[in-house]
Every structure is written in structure tokens, then in C-alpha cells.
A and B are shown apart, each in its own frame.
Chain A
Amino acid sequence: MAIVELYQLTKSYKNNRGISDMSFSIEEGEIFGFIGPNGAGKSTTIRTLLNFIFPTSGSATVFGKDIVKQSKEIRQQVGYLPSEVHYYDDMKVIDLLTYSARFHKNFNAARMKDLAARLDLDVSRKIEDLSFGNRKKVGIVQALLHEPKLIILDEPTSGLDPLMQHHFFDLLHEERKRGATIFFSSHILSEVQKMCDRVAIIKEGKLVRVETIENLTKNKVKNITLTFEKAEPLYVELEGVIKQEVNANEIKLLYSGEIQELLSKLNGLPLHDLLIEEPTLEEIFMHYYES
């Protein structure tokens, strides 16, 4: 069953770019990445799904329920971590967490202690005294505390040090094992590559494509490095070459064509060495955004 489903979801603003014609779905138990540069519409999409803002046209469902009409029921089962965490300054961490849990009508003190301990968060501190990273941890505990079926994370790792990121990713894997679906927005590709099963790439408010991480990296696109005996003023002219860089006696290609054709083309060249690799997600990503 699709946990989240968007049908041509559109949000237009007078001045700012919103999102247009966004359609994709997230399956149960998936870790779904949502990737694009700042301002591409990631947060707009998430805020529309949570009904902070109303869609201009199109529609979407979460757990099969309409995001506008049944928003309250949806949110009962959603944990949300905003990209910027803002809480009530007069509260202590524990106050905020109990306040949050009471809305969901389930407060599990043991789970709270466990989550806080794993993220190394002192719940007796005042929120206003916390650093940015520690506030983020409060946000993470708040989002996971009530054992939601769907966890929506908007740029969750900003402000966390690498060790904490590691703990956080472990937590997410456990949540997934528990049966949760995770919707993970980010502009950092390496973490999406590490965490997610599938990814939606968006650009300027539009969906570019939805693909499994496997297909994105292992599909046709290859990184090819050609090394020559000596510096050759040479370009490889071949259909399927997305990008090429020439450095002294080395040529780097991003190639998405047929491998046979490439090999026959290379056959006559004075090659010293040849390296064919999977590209990183960064490289594929840059390709989508450069065009």
C-alpha cells in the first residue's frame, strides 16, 4: 500500500516559486529520499502534505487519507522534524517532549529516555540554553517518540556532528524495522545514497524523476577515466558522452551510452590505462541540474 501519494500536487505563490504538478508515491516501509538544492520546493511539498499550507491544485493522500480534509487523523501517525527547529524557550526539554506526547495520547517515558540517551541529550536542560545541534536532537526525539507510522524529516542532519549522524541513521534503520516509512529530504547526496531505497529528484519546483538508488548509480551511467601515454589534445566524440574533462594525459568521461560502442571507439586509441567505475550520486545529480 502506498503510504504517501501525490497527484499533480501544485502550490503556486505570487512571488516565490512553489511546486507544480508533483506526482509520486511512497510505499510502506520504504526510506524515500527527496533531494534537490535549497529552494527547489522540498519544504513546500512537506508543508503541503502536513496541511500547513493548502494546495493550489491537485491532491495528495497519506495513509489513504486526504491531506486537507483528514489532516488531523494523518498527523496522529506522523512524526515531523522541521529543517529549523523552534521550540518554546521557557520549556525544559522534558516539558516539550511530554507536551508533544500528550497530543498523540501516548507518552512512553522509557522510550523517551532511551532515545535521549542514544542521542546524548540531557532532558532536564532549558531549551533556550541549547545549542543548534542539541535543539535538533530534541526535534528528533520529538519526531520519533510516539512511534509514528510515517516519519518526515526535513534536512535532518544539519547541525549534527558525524558521530551523532551515525547514531541518528542507526535509529532510523531501527524505526524502519519497526515498520515505519521514512520520508527524508536532503540536499546532501551522500547521506541519501547511504540511507534511502528510492529517491525523488526535484528541481525548480518540478519532479525530475523518481528512481531507486541502485538504478541511479548502477544503471547505465559510468565514470570512465582514460589515461594516455602522453598528453593528447583529444576529445572523444561519441553519442552518450554526458561530460568530458581533459587533464594533461587524462580524460574523464561521464558516459551513458552503449558500452560496446565505447570500446570499439577506444580500440584505436593509444591507451595506457582504462578505468570504468560507478559514478557517485553527486555526479549524476550534477548532471540533472546542469542541463
Chain B
Amino acid sequence: MIFQREWKRNRKALIIWSVILGGLIVGLLSMFPQFAEQQESLSKMMEAYPESMQKAFGMDELGFGTLMGFYGIEVHMMTTLLGSIYAAMLASNILAKEENEKTIEFLLSKPITRNQIVAQKLAAVIINLLILNGIAVIASLVGFQFAEGHDVPYKTFALLVIATILLHFTFAAISFMLSSMMRKTRNILSISIAVVIIAYFFNMMSGLSADLDVLKYFSPFNYADAANIINEGAIKALYVAIMAAVILLTVFAAFIVYKKKDISV
């Protein structure tokens, strides 16, 4: 019941985000053939950029000339960043909204346990994120059709997709925990978005200088970094483990907090 309700309530946002993200992906990939053709002149132009800037965007390790390189620099950035913002917005609202708008008094008076409320809302977050990622994958597969003559390395692509989903789940789980603890949706939303943006800048800055290299361990964006995955042909087990641990712990905390807390509006 709650799942269906959340599904309906969040459907419009999901459609908007899917259209924007899908459109961006197809649009970007449609430009790939031109990039590939002018690869030589492009690489020269790239060299003109300061080295630190190239590093910050991962352009030093990936080339625009290969399909995955282009995907890693242009598209992966969109799916990871925009998707993470969507994940944070979706999850930060979902539990606290009921308290913020005082509808929780209605919901709690129904024969349903708190665990069921949390579980169904969590399921709605998971399904919405999987659908957004599904749309992104479909848009990418459509976009790859522009790259005639270039093989699509599906294994690498699959790894990038998995890393992206894990990243989205990580931010969603953190926001979900905040949503179980706090009441004011506006505050939760601000914190959740800030977490995403700060993590994104940590990852960018870590590329800028060796002194800041340590920052990368604090940014999930680094865990899903396209250059690492494409060049190594794998997601580092440590990074997967960290993300899985964060997801499990925060979700577990959300269940515990919500079950124990006094809810009075």
C-alpha cells in the first residue's frame, strides 16, 4: 500500500529525471563520432589545458577517441552526479515528509508496523533508482548506435553501470538514514545535496595535487571513477566493500531509529 502510494507520488519526478538524463546521454553520445574523427586535433587541444584540470576531469587517463573513454568522461559524469542528486532528493524526503506534513498521525494509526513503513518506502527508493538507471542504460545503448565502426565493450560498460548504481544507493542510503532521524524535510534535503556536492568536489580536488590525494578515499565518486574502472577492467573490491558497508549500516540504522523513536506531530 505505502509502496504503491510512494510509487505514484514520485512518478512525476522519476519521469522528468528520466527524460532529462536519457536525453542528455543520447545527445552527448550523438556527438561522439565528431569527437572520434577529430581525435588528433582534440588531443592537442586537450594538452593545452592545464594538467591539473585534465586530471580533475579524468581526461589525462581517458581519451575522447575511444567510445568508453568518451563515455567515461562525458556520460559517466552525468549519470553519477545527476543520479546521485536524484537519489539524495528522493530518499531524503521519503520518510520525513510524513512527519513534516503531519500525515504520519494518519499512517501510524493504521494496522502497520514501523518496519513495514520503512521497508516499503525503502523499496520505493530502490525501484525508482533502478528504473532511472535502467533508462540511462537504454539511452546509452541507443546512443552507442551513433558510434558506427566502434565496438562497444559491454563488460566495461556493465562495470560502469554497476558502479553508478552502487554510488546512487550509497547516497540514497545516507539520505534515507537522515530522513528517519530528522523531521524537517528542507533541512534533510539541504544536507543530503551538500553531501553529494562535497563528495563530488573532494573527488575533483583529489586529482589536483598529491597533497589532496587522500581526499579521494572520502568520496564515493572516486569509488565509481570511470578512469580506474576502464583502465583496470574492474571495480576495486575495497571500494565495493566500503559502499556496501555504508549502505547496509545506514539502512540498518534507519530501521532501528524509526522503530524506536517517539513520533508526535
Distance (whole angstroms) from the CB of B94 to the closest CB of chain A:
14
Q: Is A108 on the interface with B (CB-CB < 8 A)? A: no
Evaluate contact between B265 and A86: CB separation under 8 angstroms.
yes
Q: Is A209 on the interface with B (CB-CB < 8 A)? A: no
Evaluate contact between B5 and A84: CB separation under 8 angstroms.
no
Distance (whole angstroms) from the CB of A109 to the closest CB of chain B:
18
Query: Of all chain B residues, which has the CB nearest A54?
Result: B262
Give complex CA distance A90, B31 in Å. Answer: 41
Give complex CA distance A194, B148 in Å. Answer: 84
Evaluate contact between A52 and B264: CB separation under 8 angstroms.
yes
Please pick, from B111, B260, B264, the residue contacting A47 in the complex, using a CB distance under 8 A: B264
Q: Is B41 on the interface with A (CB-CB < 8 A)? A: no
Give complex CA distance A87, B98 in Å. Answer: 9
Evaluate contact between A103 and B262: CB separation under 8 angstroms.
no
8 A Cβ contacts from A93-140 to B = 99-100, 102-104
Size category of the binding interface on chain B: 20 to 34
Q: Is A80 on the interface with B (CB-CB < 8 A)? A: yes
Give complex CA distance A84, B264 in Å. Answer: 12
Given known contacts A52-B264, A54-B262, is B9 in contact with A90 (CB within 8 Å)?
A: yes
Distance (whole angstroms) from the CB of A71 to the closest CB of chain B:
8
Chain B residues within an 8 Å CB radius of A142: 106
Q: Is A73 on the interface with B (CB-CB < 8 A)? A: yes
Evaluate contact between B5 and A99: CB separation under 8 angstroms.
yes
Give complex CA distance A99, B111 in Å. Answer: 12
Evaluate contact between B111 and A73: CB separation under 8 angstroms.
yes
Q: Is A288 on the interface with B (CB-CB < 8 A)? A: no
Evaluate contact between B103 and A102: CB separation under 8 angstroms.
no
What number of A-B contacts does a CB cutoff of 8 Å give? 57
Give complex CA distance A100, B101 in Å. Answer: 17
Chain A residues within an 8 Å CB radius of B262: 52-54
Give complex CA distance A23, B263 in Å. Answer: 23
Size category of the binding interface on chain A: 20 to 34
Chain A residues within an 8 Å CB radius of B110: 75, 100, 103-104
Q: Is B112 on the interface with A (CB-CB < 8 A)? A: yes
Query: Which of B5, B103, B106, B108 neighbours the largest number of chain A CB atoms within 10 Å of its CB?
Result: B106
Q: Is A76 on the interface with B (CB-CB < 8 A)? A: yes
Chain A residues within an 8 Å CB radius of B37: none
Q: Is A216 on the interface with B (CB-CB < 8 A)? A: no
Give complex CA distance A51, B103 in Å. Answer: 16
Q: Is B102 on the interface with A (CB-CB < 8 A)? A: yes
Chain A residues within an 8 Å CB radius of B1: 99, 102-103
Distance (whole angstroms) from the CB of A279 to the closest CB of chain B:
36
Evaluate contact between B102 and A86: CB separation under 8 angstroms.
yes
Give complex CA distance A84, B108 in Å. Answer: 15
Q: Is A88 on the interface with B (CB-CB < 8 A)? A: yes
Query: Of all chain B residues, which has the CB nearest A13?
Result: B262
Evaluate contact between B103 and A88: CB separation under 8 angstroms.
yes
Q: Is A4 on the interface with B (CB-CB < 8 A)? A: no
Please pick, from A50, A87, A102, the residue contacting B108 in the complex, using a CB distance under 8 A: A50
Interface residues as binary, B99-126 with A (CB distance below 8 Å gives 1, 0 otherwise) = 0011111101111110000000000000
Give complex CA distance A57, B165 in Å. Answer: 45
Distance (whole angstroms) from the CB of A223 to the closest CB of chain B:
40
Query: Which of B109, B111, B263 neighbours the largest number of chain A CB atoms within 10 Å of its CB?
Result: B109
Q: Using a CB–CB distance below 8 Å, which chain B residues touch chain A?
A: 1, 5, 9, 101-106, 108-113, 260, 262-265
Given contacts A47-B264, A75-B110, A99-B5, 14 further A-B contacts (CB under 8 A): A50-B108, A50-B109, A52-B264, A54-B260, A54-B262, A72-B113, A75-B112, A84-B265, A86-B101, A89-B101, A90-B9, A99-B1, A103-B110, A104-B111
Q: Using a CB–CB distance below 8 Å, which chain A residues touch chain B?
A: 44, 47, 50-54, 71-73, 75-76, 78, 80, 82, 84, 86-90, 99-100, 102-104, 142
Closest 10 CB pairs of A and B: A86-B102, A103-B110, A53-B262, A76-B111, A80-B109, A75-B111, A82-B105, A52-B263, A72-B113, A72-B111
